[in-house]
Structure 1
Amino acid sequence: MITRLAGPAMHRPKLILVLVGIAFLICGAIGSMATGRLTNGGFVAADSESARVAEILERDYGMSGMQLVFTVESDGGAQAPASAARGREIAERLRGDERIDKIVSPWTDPAMGSMLTSGDGKIGLIIATVLGGENDAPAHAAELADELTGARDGVTVHAGGQAMVWSETGTQTQKDLALAEAIALPLTFLLLMWFLRSAVAAAIPFITGVAAIAGTSAVLYLLTFAVDLSVFALNITTAIGLALAIDYSLLIIGRYREEIANGRDKRRALELAMQRGGRAVAFSGLTVGIALVGMSFFPMDFLRSLAYAGLAVVLMSIVLTLTLVPALLTLLGDRINRKPLREAKPVEQSLLYRIARVVQRRPAVCALPVLLLLVLLGSPIVGVKLGLPDERVLPTSLESRQVGDLLRDRFSGNGLGTVQIIVAAPARDGAVPDLRDYQAALSEVADVRSVTGPAGIFSGGELRAPAGPGTTAADSAYVAVATGLDPYSEAGQRQLDALHAVPEPGATVLFGGFAQQTADSAANIAQGFPYAVVWIAVVTFLLLFLLTGSVVLPLKALVLNVLSLSATFGALVWIFQDGHLGGLGTAATGYTIATIPVLLFCVAFGLSMDYEVFLLARFTEEWEQSDKTRQANDDAVALGIARSGRIVTAAALLMAVIFLGISASGVTMNRMLGLGLALAVLMDATLVRMILVPAFMRLLGTANWWAPARSRGFLEKVALRE
């Protein structure tokens, strides 16, 4: 496979470069249309309880779309003539717009005045429902906000709500991607020149990385015709594609230079580099792809779409490395070397070799402090709380974030936190039972302001007003629970549990709304996580078993990877959930965005195994050429670390720079992922590779290479060798 891909590149390099250049232009043109087709949703599974309620409300009650909130503020108060006139003007404008389904305001709905007016009386809210679903509603909201917001006659109007949050998230994400590329690309090229000591050599991985960016954007665009693809895929997959393309290119260049230094001619050196380095690239890509496929075990479209996009990007990075890189090396030849590499100092004199030998002399003493540090860093995981993202993931400069802060700080109620309940009629008679007692019991739950349904409007267990229209359908009833709590908070979740605990009224009850979406999201994560872990662990183990011929080495790799990942995620919980270090400029909400642990686990696991594969492939190569003694095991480890050390260190640093570019994002989710992936890569390339790997390999000795006797014949037939 590797020879078939690399062969034409070495024989007809100019043709390959022309074909890649044409593909680059086509992909760039196609990829430029990708952002307009990406969505912001998919955080809750389509078959979850809250999603079923949303479907029933849209189908039977005409309640569809996303919320758009306008704040009308003046020093004279919400009911001052100027404020009231502006509020009525906006309300009437929205009522006449075909993009708006429903609208309430204190000027058009006096009964809701107390809920829609701030505690100091200076701000009035207009809450509208925007039609169009996840794809069109945010765009409609942005258009309306551009038209209706601003300051006039002492009255200031701002726009927020879910529709505006999604609109501004998409816009901010695109800006962040441009910023990340502006930071990462120049730094990457400078670091490549520093590591490779040649501008010509640095150009090879840089060109491959830029080609990966164009290819990634085209892949994303094409995938949108098959699945709903999240806007967050833009940053994540672009970074993965760029990082892997540069990473794999460095490995091939490093192996090519090593073979030149060993006295090979240019042609033979490139063949060996592609055979041996190409095998490591293929294995690494497989392990990264396997980890990303793990996201497909979760029922949320957001994660599944990232799994598909990530897998496609990994495959593209492998193909680029095995075609574009050998073509460039064939044409550039010795020009990538600033001085003859045969003059390089012996590997035994390198710093990494000496560090490995020091660790091998005292493996337990060296490993124990590192293990304790990783456990300490991972300890905050026990306090992790999962929730859905709200406007606080955005920077404070954006309007939707400012409106959200106003709602939390200056309103006693929460007009956006309504708990939606559907009471389904029993199948036997098709009639909804009397809900008077049920609604009364719901209204007695702590912090519930009112309960509106077919039996009327209840508060504090008492009927306060008769029922309004639109609370019943053919085979169900709709009950709305107005609450004064933030649906994303712990108090909001406790209240949801208390509402669930109210005895059902002799019919099936389904809950919806933001609080239920948060609970469903956490349940979805818990549902898919065991399957993802088993998939990643088993398939990765089998691949590493075929690579090394050992049962022990794959198990060691999995254990060390889990340790470094737990330490990384623990650090993120400590910073972003608990608010230490000022949350690095983000709002500490007291919970972690539910999809972050899955994304971090799958992506970081694959990238960490990336370096583990490089090491194991080199260890195996050295071991197979040895006399298989304990000393040979130690030599294989020290030589493997030293010979792959410069390239692995360079690749890790470059990958960290790329991910830190993402962490410059104004969106909390991207900032967490960027920092988390950078920490995972750096931790794996330093503490794990330089200390824990040689320590454990020394302690186990020749047992590292053990495999059941019955598997030897099987391995001879199917083991993945050059």
Structure 2
Amino acid sequence: MFYKWGRFAHRHRRVIPVIVVALIVLMQVLFGSKLADRLSQEGWEDPGADSTTAAQIEYDTFGRDNSGDVILLVTAPDGVDRPEVVDKMNQQISGLRDQFPNEIAHVTSYFERATPQLVNDEHTKAFAAIGLKGDGEQTLKDFRTIQPALEAMEVPGGTVQVAGATAVADALDTGMANDIARAEKIGLVFVAIILLFVFGGVVAAAMPLIVGILSIIGSLSLLAILAQFQQVNIFSQSIITLLGLGLAIDYGLFMVSRFREELDRGLDTEEAVAVTTNTAGKTVFFSALMVGVALSGLLMFPQAFLKSVAYGAMSAVVLAAVISVAVLPALFGMLGPKIDFLSVRRRKERRIEETIWFKIPNWAMRHAKPVVVGVAALLIALTVPIVGIAFGGINETYLPPNQVTRQAQDEFNEEFPAFRTDPVKLVVKGADNAQLGQIVMQTRAIDGFTRPLKPDYPTEGDVTVLSAPLADRDGGADVVKQLRSIESPEGVTTYVGGTPAMEVESIEALLNRLPWMAVYMVLATFLLMALVFGSLILPAKAVIMNVLGIGATLGFLTAVFVDGLGAGALNFTPGPLMSPILVLIVAILYGLSTDYEVFLLSRMVEERQDGARTDDAIRRGTAHTGGIITAAAAIMIVVAAAFALSDIVMMKYIAYGMIFSLALDATIIRLLFVPGVMHLLREDNWWAPRWVKRATRSLGEGSGVSTTPRPGETPIEHMVVDTRPGRAGVTVEENASLVPFADLMRDLDQRRALEQLKKKELER
């Protein structure tokens, strides 16, 4: 299939790129330009959870709770009760009401009515709370409309700071938008430099960049289409840019490298395109399929955030593979040897035995037992900190400590803990006054609040909403557990709501479904790798190594982001992580680990099918792909590094996780651990039932020497040629001095190709 497609792409090389580019541009014009207006700040909650039901009942009965949308925190060291301060604030607040009647619903201000709860004991800090009219995404738009006026406010001898739930959401949203711009401007520049260094030529380096740019434009357009039918969280845009751009360039790098290698072997352009598509193209296709399968595990979770990331990231990965396999072969067909045009340095031809990608795995195989034991011990030791992982929710602590909105919110929480914007709520439905009194009396015995639960609004119909802030933000689980234990009178229903309850239920969903996601990812990728590699041992080894690598990465992330190792230098506040982010990073890391495993093992299997013995297949496969995998990892690290500069902690978490995992994967695991383990397994590496072998062979049709034996014949991978004088001939004997039959045939093909080239040069 892939070989035939390579031939087809060469024949229609001038048409295919035009069609693909036209489709992507059309998608961008029709849909992609509307993406920003369709993204949401919401989608973190479980639609079937009690906290979601509580929020819906409250909304249907009383409307949106907008009491903490915007906080104006006024600080005046000489006192906030001075007439000039009070007059100035009242004048400005009245001006806000008059200027923005369609955005502001109400204002509760200490300066208009000197309520004691709205000022601190020293009377040096007081606040005004602004409720916005809009619901959902309109709330953020309303805030941005009035934001310039808020930031322009001032008082004599003091300061006015802007805080509140919507102000924090805006700061998070702005930080994510900056991440995208940084990745596109800085990331692409450094990626181009790396590609130029790897390929030594402008044209060759441009090929992966073309794939990357087309993929990111296309995937964001697909995300805009998805946003028409499903809630898509704005955070998913950053994830899609990160994954789509990195993987697209990796796939392009893999394809270009293989095409140049086939040209160097002496193949003409058409055959080189077909062989590249049949080898590297097939690897890219199945690699993307496995990454997509890993990401599809996110669909098991109920949060719209995870579903939108899953759909978007899957489309980005698949689109990257489709463009790599569809567009690049056509471009190769048009360029041919001119792919090395505009070279900035001369390519040095070296035998693979002279490269470090050959020498390092060769050393690891000679010292296989200590290397395997040592690397396994290191990975397990790195995993240990994960026992201290803690989960929480998204709030102002996800912003840098020096960010102005974060500082304002921290000051407000410290001075006015009873008005924190993330209270726990108890929604009571169907209770009369006596029954409501019974429930309220039970809540008095609950520990963990800054004050007793009290009604947010007068009872409406049969619905009452009680609320109170947490004394300790990390103590939500215990408080929610106590509230759930309340005994409701007959006919009365209670729902525990509020942001802390949503976080607790999100963690519960994680613990309940993460094992199932892990089983699904492992089984699905195991079966796909077995189909691609024709072995059951190689997929099992890959899964075990992926798990060890992910464990080490999660241990590192826990030490940094929860325990605070290096937090000051990285400018963030350590603390609990959002449980959906852990689920997301597990899916991403498993997908990337599988991606590089496929790149490496596919070449080993190819060498084995060409007749190489196990150790030779390991050495040659690693030598052929080592430089490519290292370059691919370096490119992905550069892209992730652009996001590591993010102001948002959860984006830093994902970016640093990818950087650590990729560095570990491309060095210790791929160059030491894999060769050592495979050397110890020896011939067992290739074991699989016959039906698996048949299914694998059905995917590998193409030109060249057939690896499929006739009935009664010996498989070609076991056939060698004895080249010693007087003993020439094909044999199946395993002897280190014998030459693999497929290697001999390949050498003969290369000699013929070189002779044809020399003949053409002489004719000229």
Quick check: 2:200–2:344 contact (8 Å CA) kept in 1?
no
**TM-superposition CA deviations, 1:323-351 (whole Å, max 9, x none):** 22122222222123359999722222221
Quick check: 2:13–2:334 contact (8 Å CA) kept in 1?
yes
For residue 465 of structure 1, what is the aligned residue in structure 2? none
Query: 1:349–1:494: structure 2 CA closer, same or farther, 3 Å change rule?
Result: same
For residue 118 of structure 1, what is the aligned residue in structure 2? 120
How many Å apart are 1:64 and its aligned residue? 4.1
Matched, 1:238 2:218: no
Aligned equivalent of 1:614, options 599, 622, 641: 599
**TM-superposition CA deviations, 1:45-99 (whole Å, max 9, x none):** 1221211111011101234457222212222333332343345456656777344
How many Å apart are 1:252 and its aligned residue? 1.1
For residue 531 of structure 2, what is the aligned residue in structure 1? 546
For residue 52 of structure 2, what is the aligned residue in structure 1? 51
> How many percent of aligned residue pairs carry the same amino acid?
28
How many Å apart are 1:242 and its aligned residue? 1.3
Aligned equivalent of 2:658, options 657, 677, 684: 677
Structure 2 letter corresponding to 1:12: H
Distance 1:176 1:340 in 2: 34
What runs of 5+ residues in structure 1 fail to find an aligned partner? Answer: 455-467
Aligned equivalent of 2:389, options 380, 384, 391: 384
Structure 2 matches for 1:29-40, cutoff 5 A?
29=29, 30-40=31-41
- Is 412-421 or 101-110 further displaced after alignment? 101-110
For residue 83 of structure 2, what is the aligned residue in structure 1? 81
Quick check: 2:476–2:504 contact (8 Å CA) kept in 1?
no
Aligned equivalent of 1:577, options 556, 562, 574: 562
Aligned equivalent of 2:471, options 473, 482, 485: 485
Structure 1 letter corresponding to 2:128: I
For residue 520 of structure 1, what is the aligned residue in structure 2? 505
Quick check: 1:90–1:148 contact (8 Å CA) kept in 2?
no
- 2:178 aligned counterpart, secondary structure: helix
Distance 1:73 1:13 in 2: 68
Structure 2 matches for 1:112-511, cutoff 5 A?
113-114=116-117, 116-149=118-151, 150-337=153-340, 344-396=349-401, 398-425=403-430, 433-451=434-452, 453=454, 470-480=457-467, 482-483=468-469, 485-486=471-472, 489-506=473-490, 507-511=492-496
Structure 1 letter corresponding to 2:71: V
Quick check: 2:139–2:166 contact (8 Å CA) kept in 1?
yes
Query: 1:186–1:713: structure 2 CA closer, same or farther, 3 Å change rule?
Result: closer
Matched, 1:536 2:541: no
How many Å apart are 1:371 and its aligned residue? 1.5
How many Å apart are 1:5 and its aligned residue? 5.3
Distance 2:237 2:572 in 1: 23
- 1:214 aligned counterpart, secondary structure: helix
Quick check: 1:64–1:101 contact (8 Å CA) kept in 2?
no
How many Å apart are 1:589 and its aligned residue? 4.0
For residue 109 of structure 2, what is the aligned residue in structure 1? 105
- 1:478 aligned counterpart, secondary structure: strand
Query: 1:136–1:3: structure 2 CA closer, same or farther, 3 Å change rule?
Result: farther
- Is 391-400 or 531-540 further displaced after alignment? 391-400
Distance 2:4 2:86 in 1: 74
Quick check: 1:432–1:477 contact (8 Å CA) kept in 2?
no
How many Å apart are 1:448 and its aligned residue? 3.1
Distance 1:3 1:101 in 2: 65
**TM-superposition CA deviations, 1:360-410 (whole Å, max 9, x none):** 112111122222221122111111111111112123454421221112333
Quick check: 1:547–1:720 contact (8 Å CA) kept in 2?
no
Query: 1:604–1:574: structure 2 CA closer, same or farther, 3 Å change rule?
Result: same
Aligned equivalent of 2:695, options 684, 698, 715: 715
TM-score normalised per structure 1:
0.90
Quick check: 1:663–1:671 contact (8 Å CA) kept in 2?
yes
Query: 1:452–1:246: structure 2 CA closer, same or farther, 3 Å change rule?
Result: closer
Aligned equivalent of 1:663, options 644, 652, 658: 644
Distance 1:119 1:705 in 2: 75
Root-mean-square deviation (CA, aligned residues, Å) is 2.6
Query: 1:557–1:420: structure 2 CA closer, same or farther, 3 Å change rule?
Result: same
Query: 1:148–1:179: structure 2 CA closer, same or farther, 3 Å change rule?
Result: same
For residue 619 of structure 2, what is the aligned residue in structure 1? 638
Distance 2:402 2:162 in 1: 13
**TM-superposition CA deviations, 1:689-717 (whole Å, max 9, x none):** 111111111111111122245x4576368
For residue 695 of structure 1, what is the aligned residue in structure 2? 676
> Based on CA coordinates, which of the two structures has the bigger radius of gyration?
2
Structure 1 letter corresponding to 2:236: A
For residue 745 of structure 2, what is the aligned residue in structure 1? none
Structure 2 letter corresponding to 1:254: S
Quick check: 2:427–2:494 contact (8 Å CA) kept in 1?
yes
Quick check: 2:417–2:450 contact (8 Å CA) kept in 1?
no
For residue 716 of structure 2, what is the aligned residue in structure 1? none
Quick check: 2:425–2:498 contact (8 Å CA) kept in 1?
yes
Query: 1:540–1:131: structure 2 CA closer, same or farther, 3 Å change rule?
Result: farther
- 1:151 aligned counterpart, secondary structure: coil
TM-score normalised per structure 2:
0.85
